[in-house]
Structure formats: C-alpha cells, structure tokens
Chain A
C-alpha cells in the first residue's frame, strides 16, 4: 500500500504531463517522500488496480493506474476531464502536488495467463487500465503468446495513446486494429464501432478477452463475444462505480453484494451475471 493510514493520502509530485487528446492527459507521478511509515515504492501495484487521487481542496477520484509495475520510480495515470476533481486535475502542471491513496482493488489475472494468447478490446479511455496489462505483457514478452488489441474511438481526435498504438504492432506476434465510429477526412483505417473488429478474432474463442470502455461499448462487445462462442468466464471486464473510501466501507460502490473497490473492479462476465448487474 502506498499510504499507511486509510484516510491519509501520500503526497506525490507530477513529474510530467503529456496531452493525449483535447480532454485527456497522461500524468507521470513520483512520491514526494519515502518516510518510515510510507515506504512502498512506485511499482508496488498490479495491472488493473486503481488509486484514489486527491486534488487538495477539490476532492478525490478513483483512477486506474495505466503504467506497468516493471517501470521503476514512477507510475502513470491517464485522466479525462469530465467532472469536478478531474477538472481540477487538468489545471495542474509539472511539479505540482497530488495526494494518492491506494493501490486498491483486485487486478487483471495476468500472472495466471502466462504462456497464453491474449485479447484486449478497448473503447475510448477504456484503453488506460488495459494499457497497464498490455505494457506488462510487453515487459515480459517471452512469457506470453499472441496478443491482439481491438481499439475503438469516437473520432480520430479521441484516440488515446496514438503513438503507442502505432508502435505496439512492431512487437513480434502483436496485432493492433483501430477503428473510429464515423468516416473522417484524413482517416484511412477502419470505420465503425469496435464490435465491427470482432471478426478479426473470431477464430480465437478460447482466448481470454479483456474488455474495457464505456458501458454501451461493454454491453455490445460482450454480446458479440458470447455470440462468437466465448465462455462467460473467459470475458474479463471492469466495473465503474461511484467510490469514496476505496476500502469496502463507505457503501457507495456496493453492487449485487460485491464492493467494486475491494472485490473488483475486475470481474469476469460470469461473476457479473451472478451479481445480476446489467452491463
């Protein structure tokens, strides 16, 4: 755990801010102090976990860590400006201070999948949490088989991590397919929602598929995967809920008997069905 006291955030400094799109930025963070009680390093998390980011005086928001724990000395958060806290966050610059609590939640079952092929399907900023797992796979490339990434964005201006989406296919045995919802001038790639790319993976129904994105995208992607013979437990997704404490007490993210913050945010579709959550 980055912070030793549950309600007290640990101070972190913004090392770098990179603008990814018109409303989304990538923040690289480093802890301000390493003291006796808060000693854990910036790499002490697992892909899929999130942190509660506090902007002093504004509030806290749960944000997925989008870097790989193999990266030492810093971690990264990808944040879209949509609300009160993320708006305050967007105004911060290199060198500014943030509060971090966490990392919280379970993680993608990436360790158990060594030796296997993997599929990642992302919509919009849903690529951020998956990027943590994708980068982890790249960092341990010899341990994993074929990787296929399907990514959909509304417009070409909404594509996050565009340069990485260009670079990833240079890895051996790595397929990346990107699409945008509507045709646009200067776009020569696929057009249509991300489910139109599912044809590219139809013959891989035994491969675990990680799905992350806005609720409507998750809904239709899961439907298509089930139609294409994926088993419920082979579809892995994340749930998003209003969160306050992050440690299974405050009640806000309680759904179907599970705390999204401690029992999730990563669930298989089989678990989500059991919880009777509609996605």
Chain B
C-alpha cells in the first residue's frame, strides 16, 4: 500500500473539497457529528480520535427518502459524488455489512448502490477509544487496513496518508505535491500509537473475554429470562437501533402530494411496538422482551447464518445513546453466565 506523509491536514481536506462535497467531524457537546466542510477557513473541523456519535449509514440510507413516484420515473441518477472524513474501522465494517444487504444481493437498492459508488471514504485511526467501545469483541481494531479510499494516521508532527483503492491512488497521484515520504520515526510512532489503543481496548473490555462465540451465547439463550428482565430498563426510545450503524430495517409508506404520489422509505426499529403488527390486529412480537431477543438474534445469529458475519461492529453507540440505561455488553455478559449448556437451536453453518 502506498504510504505518504503530510504536515497539515487542511490542504488535504481543501483538495478533496475542491472535487466534491466533503463532510468532516465537528464537536457537538461531548461528541463528534458530521458536518459539511466549507472550503475557505473552516473553523469547526476537529480531528476525531474516536468515532463520531452519528452512524455512517445516514449518508448511504438517509433517514427518509423518496423511493418511487407516480407519475414516474424517479431514479437514482442525480446522486453526486461526496466524501466523508474521519471514519473509523468500525464504520468501514458497518459499510461492509450494509453492502451485503443492499448492494450485493439479487435485489439491489438502487439508491444505496449509487451513493456507495459515489462515496469517497477517508478513514482515520482511533487513538483514544471510548469507554463504550468494544470492537475488539468482533475482531475490530482501532485502525483500518482496508475498506477505505484514503486512511489518515495522526502522528506528533504530521499525518500518514495511505491510499487503499484505485480512487485513493488516483487522488494522491493528482495531488502528489502535497505529500512527502514518511520519516521512519513517524512510522514507528504510528505503530506504537496503534498498539497502545489496541491495548486500551483490551483492558477496557477484559470482562468480555467469553469462553464461547457470541453466536453460541445468544443462540443458546432462546429460553432465557434475561431478555424480559433487561427489557424492564427499556423505555422504547428506539435510539439503539436508530444510532446503530448496522441496523437497517426500513418502512415503506405512500403519500399523496399536490400533483403526484410518492412511495417513501424511512428508518424503522424492531424495538417498536407495532413493528410486526399485521392488518386485523395480530402482533407476533407484542412483548418487549421478545423484541429485544429478536434484535440480538438478528445481529448475532440470523445475520451470521445468512451472510457469514456478525451484524454488530462493537462501536458502542447504542450504549452511549440508550436513554433507559440498557447496555448490550451487560446483556451479553448475563447471557454468557446464565446458561452454559447447548441451546435449543442447533448451530447452523454460514452460507
């Protein structure tokens, strides 16, 4: 992989912003959120040493978007190239999960696929993982090695820039005057910073070193009462699913406008009471504990069976966001301690 050095991050951002809309992290209270980068003298930008508070899916699957109109046609042609700076390894892995559902199957989502193609990804290392981060449980790391166009690693007096795709390589070639070769000492510094962050994650999550895979723990808990007990802390705010970078349930509804009809697509949440209710009134997931169980089964069992990967990247956003104080890590811990025997469901092999 091509590795280059740049003293200041601003010229790099300006170069990207010259080509397309660029979104960068800015501080909002204690957290980072993405905000549009203004070419001249942007003051709000801050290099984020941890993930942003909001998930990357908001760029690929907007909260609410139009999916079809009558009269038509309505197509995904007008989506312009855009870049996002400051994504972390967990964000890149969440994109890989969404790709499985929306870009790689028989039925592709044309809007997702178009945005994905037009997106320029600039990731960066996590030098200071949050208390709620537990990506190491799902083989995640505080730095990315693939899945980006450019990756930026901060060092004491500059930044290491890596190009990880053709798009990234073309970019560094075009702006080669911005970069110099990486001093040896800086490379060593990066390795040291990365190792330190990884150690910090392992120490923070020492209690999450289970004797079985998360899949085995969750799958074996079909009859567990932990779900009902934990659901007592849930106030159904649905923040966990909205802020989750991998949760992708959506709702379709029709609206009537002045001179056209539109089919709209909007985020939905499996924790919502009426999520599975059918016309006529039947609701197979009426009990909150059952909905919580379904959420975990989907993330750690069903998705793994279907696509060969966990539908959780361990970013910990749901832990930070939950208004009722529910903590996914605590639920997993309780499930792992509660029942160590074979689950009712037999283990199945991933497709």
Q: Residues on A close to B: CB < 8 A?
A: 5-9, 11, 54-61, 82-86, 99, 215, 240-242, 244-245, 247-257, 276
Contact = CB atoms under 8 A, between A and B. Distances in A.
Given A8-B73, A252-B275, 16 more contacts: A8-B68, A56-B254, A59-B253, A59-B254, A83-B279, A85-B279, A244-B252, A248-B105, A249-B109, A250-B251, A251-B298, A252-B251, A254-B298, A255-B284, A256-B302, A257-B305
A8 B70 CA distance: 9
B70 A56 contact: yes
Interface in B319-350: 344-345, 348
B265 A7 contact: yes
B68 A241 contact: no
Contacts of B302: 254, 256-257
Contacts of A54: 254, 263
A84 B279 contact: yes
Interface in B241-268: 248-256, 261, 263, 265, 268
B270 to A, nearest CB: 6
B280 interface: yes
Nearest to B107: A247
Closest 7 CB pairs of A and B: A83-B279, A251-B249, A57-B256, A7-B67, A247-B107, A257-B302, A8-B68
Given A254-B298, A276-B345, A5 B249 contact: no
Contacts of B248: 249, 251
Contacts of A255: 284
B298 A249 contact: no
Contacts of B294: 254
B277 interface: yes
A11 B72 CA distance: 11
A213 B264 CA distance: 31
Given A7-B263, A82-B279, A244 B251 contact: yes
A254 B305 CA distance: 13
Interface of B: 67-68, 70, 72-75, 101-102, 105-110, 222, 248-256, 261, 263, 265, 268, 270, 275-280, 282, 284, 294, 297-298, 301-302, 305-306, 344-345, 348
Given A86-B279, A244-B251, A244-B252, A251 B268 contact: yes
A3 to B, nearest CB: 10
Nearest to A97: B70
A275 B73 CA distance: 40
B68 A250 contact: no
Contacts of B254: 54-60
Nearest to B262: A57
A137 B277 CA distance: 34
Q: Which of A6, A11, A84, A257 has the most CB of B within 10 A?
A: A257
A57 B262 CA distance: 7
A80 to B, nearest CB: 9
A82 B280 contact: yes
A241 B276 contact: yes
A6 B108 contact: yes
